[in-house]
Amino acid sequence: MTTSPQGFTDIASTVTAELQMLLKTDAAAKGLKNLYSELMRKAKPTKVAIRTLEGLQYSYHDLSAASARMAHFIRSLGLTPGSRVAARIEKSPEALMLYLACLRSGMVFLPLNTGYQSEELRYFFNDAKPGLVVCDPSALGWIAPLAKSSGCHQVETLGSAISGSLLEKAAPFSDDFPTLACGPDALAAILYTSGTTGRSKGAMLTHANLASNALVLHHAWHWQESDVLIHALPIFHVHGLFVAIHGALWAGAQMVWMSKFDASAVVQECARATVLMGVPTFYVRLVESGLLTAERVKTMRLFISGSAPLLAETHQAFTQLTGQAILERYGMSETIMLTSNPYQGTRRAGTVGFALPSVELRLVDDHETPIKLKPGQESAIGGVQVRGPNVFAGYWNMPEKTKEEFAQGGWFKTGDMGQFAADGYLVLVGRSKDLIISGGYNVYPKEIELLLDDQPEVYESAVIGLSHPDFGEAVAAVIVPDPPEIASRMGPLDEAKILSRLRTMIAGFKLPKRLFFLPELPRNAMGKVQKNVLRERFASTFSAD
Ligand code: MLC
Summarize pLDDT for 464-478 with one digit per residue, the tens. Answer: 999 999 999 999 999
pLDDT tens digits for range 436-463: 999 999 999 999 999 999 998 899 999 9
Ligand 1 pocket check for 351: Cβ under 6 Å: no
Q: What is the three-class DSSP state of 260?
A: coil
Residue to mutate, 329, 441, 495, ligand 1, most ligand atoms under 8 Å from C-beta? 441
Ligand 1 pocket check for 212: Cβ under 6 Å: no
Ligand 1 pocket check for 240: Cβ under 6 Å: yes
Is the pLDDT assigned to residue 427 strictly greater than 80? yes
Mean pLDDT over residues 222-235, rounded?
98
What beta strand segments (E) does 150-305 contain?
155-157, 187-193, 201-206, 228-231, 254-257, 275-278, 302-305
Is the pLDDT assigned to residue 250 strictly greater than 80? yes
pLDDT, mean over the chain? 94
> Percent of the chain having pLDDT more than 90?
89
Per-residue pLDDT, 2: 46
Ligand 1 pocket check for 158: Cβ under 6 Å: no
- Ligand 1 mean position to 327 CA, how many Å? 21
Atom 6 of ligand 1, residue of closest alpha carbon: 509
- Ligand 1 mean position to 232 CA, how many Å? 12
Per-residue pLDDT, 3: 43
In this prediction, residue 1 has a pLDDT band, given cuts at 50, 70 and 90, of very low
Per-residue pLDDT, 408: 95
Ligand 1 pocket check for 332: Cβ under 6 Å: yes
Per-residue pLDDT, 501: 93
Going by C-alpha positions, the residue among 368, 366, 409 that lies closest to residue 387 is 409
- Ligand 1 mean position to 239 CA, how many Å? 13
Per-residue pLDDT, 485: 55
Do residues 165 and 133 lie in contact, with contact meaning Cβ atoms separated by under 8 Å?
Answer: no
From the centroid of its chain, how far is CA 121?
18
Is the pLDDT assigned to residue 384 strictly greater than 60? yes
Ligand 1 pocket check for 441: Cβ under 6 Å: yes
- Regarding pTM above 0.85, the answer is yes
Is the pLDDT assigned to residue 487 strictly greater than 90? no
Q: Which atom of ligand 1 is nearest to the CA of 470?
A: 31
- Ligand 1 mean position to 439 CA, how many Å? 5
Window from 95-104, 206-215, 437-446, 492-501 with minimum mean pLDDT: 492-501
DSSP 4: -
Per-residue pLDDT, 186: 97
Per-residue pLDDT, 431: 82
Ligand 1 pocket check for 15: Cβ under 6 Å: no
- Ligand 1 mean position to 436 CA, how many Å? 13
Is the pLDDT assigned to residue 426 strictly greater than 60? yes
Per-residue pLDDT, 491: 54
Ligand 1 pocket check for 234: Cβ under 6 Å: yes
Q: Which helix (H) or strand (E) holds 322?
A: helix 312-322
Atom 30 of ligand 1, residue of closest alpha carbon: 439
Ligand 1 pocket check for 265: Cβ under 6 Å: no
Residue to mutate, 307, 334, 341, 503, ligand 1, most ligand atoms under 8 Å from C-beta? 307
Atom 54 of ligand 1, residue of closest alpha carbon: 307
Q: Which residues of 208-229 are buried (b: 16+ CB within 10 A; e: fewer)?
A: bbbbbbbbbbbbbbebeeebbb
Helices 280-289 and 312-322 cross at an angle (nearest 10°) of 50
Q: Provide the pairing of β-strand 426-431 with 411-420.
A: antiparallel
pLDDT tens digits for range 335-363: 999 999 999 999 999 999 999 999 999 99
Do residues 217 and 223 lie in contact, with contact meaning Cβ atoms separated by under 8 Å?
Answer: yes
From the centroid of its chain, how far is CA 383?
21
Ligand 1 pocket check for 440: Cβ under 6 Å: yes
Ligand 1 pocket check for 258: Cβ under 6 Å: no
pLDDT tens digits for range 497-543: 899 999 999 999 999 999 999 999 999 988 999 999 999 999 999 98
Atom 45 of ligand 1, residue of closest alpha carbon: 508
